[in-house]
Amino acid sequence: MQESPFPLNFDVIIVGSGAAGLYTALSLPNNFRIALVTKDKLKRGASDWAQGGIAAAINPDDSPLFHLQDTLKAGVGLCDTQAVKYLVENAAISIQSLLEMGVDFDRVKDDNNNIPHPLAMTLEAAHSFPRVLHAADTTGRAIVSILRQKVLDSPHIQVYEQAYALSLWLNESKNQCLGISLLYENQIRWLSAKAVILATGGGGQVFAQTTNPHVSTGDGVALAWRSGAILRDLEFVQFHPTALNMPNTPHFLISEAVRGEGAHLVDEEGKRFAFDYHEKGELAPRDVVSRAIYSHLHKTCKNPALGKVYLDLRPISPSRIEYRFPNIIDKCQQWGIDLFSQRIPVSPAAHYWMGGVCVNLQNQTSINGLYAIGETASTGVHGANRLASNSLLECVVFAENFRHLSLDSFSQPSITISNQQNIDDDWQEEMELISHIRASLPITMWEGAGICRTKEGLEKALHQIDNWRIQLETLSIYQFINNISSSHQYNLTSSQAQQQLKLATETINLLDVGYLILKSASFRTESRGGHYRLDYPHTDDNWQIHTLVKNNSWWQGN
């Protein structure tokens, strides 16, 4: 028997290191042995990119009831009222917790530029009151940087950076998750735990245009689906209307708060066209604004796919812009835009996935010992369309539930390494197909399941993905990933093999995510929230019900 160079047995394994994963790690009892697995460096994740803020009804003129009503309205009939009620009623407690940790939210300034006590709150689209707190325009980073340091300072939390969860380890007879297989430091090994928590974020990289970082490949949802967990509402994808659109630049998100502060959305002629599509213009719900841009470009551009509109910040005072949006100023300057005198070219991009692994108020999935949180989960809070700035709040509020996690009812196998296998396979020839799929899939998904969908477009994309999945299943690297034995430790003889396994794993996950979105979008024959079909353009009361998925079965349910 070979001794392992690092711990293999934990109380809890968390997969993912954004706000949801980090706050969860800190919320769990500190007598638990915790493994935090992140496939990149700990400093990277979608939460780092979150500019918009965190919503909470803490203004004396506001109330959790108003926040509840706004959230339910945005969710277009598909929110779980109990989940939303829990979110809004616990928001103030979570904000206080973040303040005590040291998160430096913006404060109200007086005429002398002094900063008195009151927290500054901004109005964002579809909110009836100013209730969104910010830390300049890098709120996610401000929160995550503090959480990250506290995790690193916690001796009971073991962090595994640049580590890939390949599969979940299940006891099928007990419907219980026992741990994960992990690709780490040129080895594949198993970690056991009484509970596994998926916090891997969304799957925005399945689309050609997305505000998500490169790590957002839907890993947690794909892992849960392949293990037989119930998923929910995967067709609902929020396309943020204003991502930077310039050649050879990332689709950097231009925060909704910019429009909340008074920026205008205009076309090439300078017309504020959004009012032609909704009475609230730029402050309509995100899906409405995204479709307004989509429709306007199709009316006014010869090639709508290459078209763009503009955000004009000049109606906002320069001092206000400097105070509220220093990061956006810096990013625009990097790409040659002086937003004080120039308009910012923008277009919609995939931003947030409302669907995910179905969980209850305690974050439990349909598999014993398996939990999900953050964008990976479907708590019922967001319904068909997320209300702006509710996502960071959801991460914190629902992570608080893990303070009361009991592991007494879960058994745990003790892992020992009984067999070692050296892997010297060279999968280089198979990488050409995998790289082709990885590059082509986001374009296929953007065309087939982007802002506006049709039966024909969905079926065409599904046909392509089915073909790719069939091709992948013939590859030896695919068969290796799907036949990893829990009695083995695998030693990779080259770093190249590790990189090949990473690329193949992410590509498999993205294909699964694409398949799930397309099938769910085909299943729902109406338009609602983040799901819009040109061939079924109206909301249908018969569809005010969730789309549920398990294995390859789709059905309507609560």
Give catalytic residues, as residue numbers: 286
Cα separation, 139 vs 105, whole angstroms = 8
Cα separation, 280 vs 488, whole angstroms = 59
**Which of 211, 263, 207, 203 has its CA nearest to residue 241?**
211
CA angle 490, 410, 557 (to 5 degrees): 95
Cα separation, 333 vs 317, whole angstroms = 18
SS3 537: coil
Cα separation, 478 vs 460, whole angstroms = 24
CA angle 524, 530, 536 (to 5 degrees): 40
Q: Are 425 and 480 in contact (CB under 8 A)?
A: yes
Cα separation, 517 vs 519, whole angstroms = 6
Distance of CA 127 to the CA centre of its chain: 21
Cα separation, 145 vs 147, whole angstroms = 6
> Tokens in use for 309?
């509109």
The DSSP secondary-structure symbol of 108 reads: -
Q: Is 16 left (phi over 0), alpha (psi -120 to 50) or beta?
A: left
Cα separation, 238 vs 450, whole angstroms = 10
> Tokens in use for 258?
């910019």
b/e code 49-76 from CB counts within 10 Å (16+ = b): bbbbbbbbbbeeebebebbbebbbbbbb
One-letter amino acid at 57 equals A
Token pair 């307004």: residue: 292
Cα separation, 229 vs 66, whole angstroms = 34
Torsion of the alpha carbons at 336, 137, 278 and 203, rounded to the nearest 10: 90
Helix axes of 139-152 and 91-101: crossing angle, nearest 10 degrees? 60
Q: Is 151 left (phi over 0), alpha (psi -120 to 50) or beta?
A: alpha
Residues 6+ apart with CB under 8 A from 94: 56, 393, 396, 397, 400
Question: Around Cβ 442, how many Cβ atoms within 10 Å?
Answer: 19
Q: Are 51 and 327 in contact (CB under 8 A)?
A: yes
> Tokens in use for 359?
């969980």
**Which of 520, 510, 444, 438 has its CA nearest to residue 202?**
510
Helix axes of 455-473 and 428-449: crossing angle, nearest 10 degrees? 170
